[in-house]
Amino acid sequence: MALNQDTILTFLLEHGGKVTNAELLNCFKSQIHCGDPAGKQHNRDLFKKLVNSVAVVKQIDGVKFVVTKKRYRDFVKGDGEGLKSGDGDTGSQSSIGRKVEDSDSVPLDPIAHEWLVKCSAGMWRHVYGLLLLDTQLVNKRDFLSGFTALHWAVKGGNGEMVRKIMDISKSKGTCVDVNSKTHGGYTPLHIAALHGHSDIITLLVQGYGARVNVRDNAGKKPYHYLGTCGTLELKELLGGRQGEHCRDPSEEEEYRVLLPKGLNTISKLFQPHMGHRRKHRHQQPPGFAVWDGF
């Protein structure tokens, strides 16, 4: 068994989404304690980093468990006993009480299940292999966020994977909606602007005809999220006006009034941490801790 994010996440999911520290270490001890002392230390540091990328530590009935982060919770095999909707990392759509549509509740076949797990974890080599097998997978959505593979690739700034998703699907007769919305109303172009991926913005607009005037659930267009960091050319590409900041307070207020209460804050879920919030970016929710089980 290789020591990587994929194998650790798979192990956790196959064991109901939570295991004790001893169970986790016992499974991977042969991979951790191999080689010379320097190699062992390297493996320990790597293992700690990998575990913290997919899980948090939570105390349940007085016992500390390594628990999968909420973004992976729908992929847990079995009933996931002990994993309540409030457990795990923050930032999930479920935390704001979004009702999942009936069509999203249909059990997934194994390949679709694997596809969503690999996409959300950014395991693009595996995603590419699955894409070659079945391009219909590109339209599968993450239950919690509504992300498709295209949204995940854009969020990660992976332009090569964006091209593969669009071009391979088209060559095999599968239509990919480049303006597909997440549960928060985000198109891939919104996501690219949120994370400052200028090359992806250009690729989506000029290469695949992404619409620049689509609004999310907060009434915002992609260019609203560029802020002052976007170049003039990028703002113009997204329909921004010269000589003005990307954000138009009066326009945003107009759409905020029209929206149901609560929707005008949903756009904050996927925004990068900035400014005074930076000092809090590594803090875990109350009751959770970073794993350091050695």
- pLDDT, one tens digit per residue, over 170-199 is 999 999 999 999 988 999 999 999 989 999
Q: pLDDT tens track of the chain, all 294 residues?
A: 567 777 788 788 888 888 898 898 888 888 887 777 777 888 888 888 888 888 898 888 888 899 888 777 666 655 455 454 444 443 333 322 333 333 344 456 788 889 988 998 899 999 999 999 999 999 999 877 889 999 999 999 999 999 999 999 999 999 999 999 998 899 999 999 998 999 999 999 999 999 999 999 989 999 998 876 678 889 899 987 543 444 444 444 444 444 444 444 444 444 454 444 444 455 555 566 666 666
Q: Collapsing DSSP states into helix, strand and coil, what is residue 289?
A: strand
Q: Which of 162, 93, 122 is nearest to 6 (CA)?
A: 122
pLDDT value, residue 253? 45
pLDDT value, residue 165? 97
Q: Collapsing DSSP states into helix, strand and coil, what is residue 58?
A: strand
Beta carbons of 165 and 159 less than 8 angstroms apart: no
Residue 86: alpha-carbon gap to chain centroid: 18
pLDDT value, residue 169? 96
Residue range 93-259 forms a domain whose CATH class is: mainly alpha
What the block records as the tokens of 38 is 């320097």
Residue range 5-89 forms a domain whose CATH class is: mainly alpha
Gap between the terminal Cα atoms of the chain: 20
Domain limits of the chain? 5-89, 93-259
Tell me the pTM. Answer: 0.52
Question: What is the Cβ-side half-sphere exposure of residue 153, based on CA atoms within 13 angstroms?
Answer: 24
Work out the angle between the directed axes of helices 124-133 and 159-171 (0-180°, nearest 10): 10
Rounded Cα–Cα distance for residues 115 and 150 (Å): 12
- Cα distances (Å, whole numbers) of residue 102 to 99, 117, 143, 145, 277: 9, 21, 11, 15, 36
Give the strand order in the sheet containing 55-60. Answer: 18-20, 63-68, 55-60, 288-289
